[in-house]
Structure 1
Amino acid sequence: MNAQPPRIHSATFDPIPRDATPLVVFDLDGTLVDTAPDLTGALNYCLAEAGLPSLDVDAVRPHAGRGARAILQLGFSAAGITADETCLTNQLPRFLDRYNAHIADASMPFSGAVDALERLRGAGFKLAICTNKMEALARRLLVELQIAGYFSAICGSDTFAGRKPDPVHLLGTVSLAGGSAPVSIMVGDTDTDMEAARRAGLRSVLVDFGYDPCPAAHEKADLVVSRFSEIDASTLLRLIETVSAD
């Protein structure tokens, strides 16, 4: 956890409404759930169909939150092949069908994630999902893992006209969850998540154990944590209530 106090970009925030229920919006892949094993399985299925060598999950994990096209491009690139638009168009349905059928074979919440959801819900927080995964896949994954019931809204890349870092995605999620932006926090693992929070005027928490906690993400985050035990009601309420200059 950062030794320094949370850094709040106060100029972007409206006053906190009285009696507003705090909301925590979570990214999904690489934040709440380690989905890399099943994404790797779908990729390797496509690679095998194309007569190409498979990839190890450790090679895929840093790219697992970037979407199916990026994962396919990674697999073909590793075999020395540039996947053009025709190739991706042909492979994408195969990848998605395979992934949908095996979405929770090996994927599981990160250590402490479900306990954190329980703590926050018990403390009166609302919870939501804002992911660049397609909404139907996100819902299916959460249902399979038996944690869908924690969330007041589950919003994917196709739920709104834009996707993270477009603020319409995050602000739309806040609205559907019945939240208010001044008392909402984005928790994610990438610069895309932190930039979405910045553009939408939300406080942000970066989990540095995720797929792509790059230097830019660290710089934009209001708080950085290394385990879910660091995400509790008192910490997040202080983050909401603290308005200080950088």
Structure 2
Amino acid sequence: MACPSGRIQFALSIIPAPMTNLSGYTIAFDLDGTLVDTVGDIHRALNHVLASEGIPPAALADVRNFVGLGARALLIRAFGAHGIHHDDATLDRLIDLYIATNSADIAALSRPFPGVVEALEVLKAWGATLAVCTNKRGHLSVQLLTALNMGRHFAVIVGGDDVQNRKPHPDHFIHAIRAAGGDPARSAMVGDSINDVLSAKAANAPVAVYAFGYTDTAPGLLGADAVFTQFTDLPDLLVRLLKL
């Protein structure tokens, strides 16, 4: 094609990079602080429970560090910060209130972290099977991911109440992989906390940690195989961790 200078100009075709084959591999994801930024809705529901007991609201920054072991641990840590320790019956009542409050508008403030949906689509296009392995209750996890139109990406969603031993126990991770039809020997974990790292490591699976999740320990000190700062890097990172 002629250009104004009289030189010949060629149009360069863009050749897509060869597609990586992740067929037969299963990737498990944590939910809160990994796939979805849920701290705003957790903060709102927790403060409703605290107010019902006459306790001042928790700071958002503190709630980020309370998340990770499910609703019971969340409330124990939040009340424990005020030196309050409830008996099991009272704690069960407060957990029910927390869950009802959270469930009533579960995705009011929650959104997937930037690049998450695109990364999931790439991994699926490469043949990977995806699972959710979270200490959040199973029905709340399904409700949240459905509200955000994200449930369609996952073969299975395994909550903390769906297994006898939740994270950091390896049984939770192994159960999620097998429930998705996968082999733990051909799998990896993506999370944000020590519970994710310990669960995957005990199952001899590689684990990558998102740098901007919910943890009171610096991500680089969690013992993960890799720490990443943006989800656009995750598909290639997982390929390296799986040594493909």
Indicate the TM-score class for this superposition, using the shorter chain for normalisation. 0.7 to 0.9
**Secondary structure of the structure 2 residue equivalent to 1:187:** strand
- Residue 146 of structure 1 corresponds to 149
Unmatched 5+ stretches in structure 2: 1-21
- Residue 109 of structure 2 corresponds to 106
Residues matched between the structures, number? 224
Runs of 4 or more consecutive aligned structure 1 residues displaced over 4 Å after TM superposition: none
Q: Does 1:119 align with 2:125?
A: no
- Residue 57 of structure 1 corresponds to 60
Change (3 A) 1:171 1:75: closer
**Secondary structure of the structure 2 residue equivalent to 1:241:** coil
Q: Does 1:238 align with 2:236?
A: no
- Asked if 1 retains the 8 angstrom alpha-carbon contact of 2:23 and 2:126, the reply is no
Unmatched 5+ stretches in structure 1: 1-18
Q: How far apart, in 1, do the equivalents of 2:242 and 2:138 lie?
A: 28
- Residue 15 of structure 1 corresponds to none
- Asked if 2 retains the 8 angstrom alpha-carbon contact of 1:182 and 1:240, the reply is no
**Secondary structure of the structure 1 residue equivalent to 2:160:** coil
Q: How far apart, in 1, do the equivalents of 2:180 and 2:147 lie?
A: 21
Change (3 A) 1:75 1:241: closer
- Asked if 2 retains the 8 angstrom alpha-carbon contact of 1:29 and 1:35, the reply is yes
Aligned-pair CA distance for 1:130: 0.4
Q: Could you tell me the percent identity over the aligned residues? A: 38
TM-score in terms of structure 1 length: 0.84
Match of 2:35 among 17, 32, 35: 32
Q: How far apart, in 1, do the equivalents of 2:148 and 2:230 lie?
A: 20
> Relative to structure 2, which stretch is displaced further, 135-144 or 175-184?
175-184
Change (3 A) 1:80 1:213: closer
- Residue 47 of structure 2 corresponds to 44
- Asked if 2 retains the 8 angstrom alpha-carbon contact of 1:20 and 1:183, the reply is no
> Relative to structure 2, which stretch is displaced further, 59-68 or 207-216?
207-216
Q: Does 1:159 align with 2:171?
A: no
Q: How far apart, in 1, do the equivalents of 2:143 and 2:108 lie?
A: 12
Q: How far apart, in 1, do the equivalents of 2:80 and 2:176 lie?
A: 35
**Secondary structure of the structure 2 residue equivalent to 1:205:** strand
- Asked if 2 retains the 8 angstrom alpha-carbon contact of 1:206 and 1:213, the reply is no
Match of 1:224 among 199, 213, 227: 227
TM-score in terms of structure 2 length: 0.84
Q: How far apart, in 1, do the equivalents of 2:81 and 2:239 lie?
A: 45
Q: How far apart, in 2, do the equivalents of 1:215 and 1:71 lie?
A: 20
Q: Work out which structure has the larger RCO, using CA pairs closer than 8 Å and 6 or more positions apart in sequence.
A: 1
Q: How far apart, in 1, do the equivalents of 2:69 and 2:195 lie?
A: 10
- Residue 188 of structure 1 corresponds to 191
Aligned-pair CA distance for 1:80: 4.6
Q: Does 1:132 align with 2:135?
A: yes
Q: How far apart, in 1, do the equivalents of 2:182 and 2:220 lie?
A: 24
- Residue 12 of structure 2 corresponds to none
- Asked if 2 retains the 8 angstrom alpha-carbon contact of 1:225 and 1:231, the reply is yes
- Residue 206 of structure 2 corresponds to 203
- Residue 8 of structure 1 corresponds to none
- Asked if 1 retains the 8 angstrom alpha-carbon contact of 2:46 and 2:75, the reply is yes
Q: How far apart, in 2, do the equivalents of 1:143 and 1:159 lie?
A: 18
Structure number with bigger Rg? 2
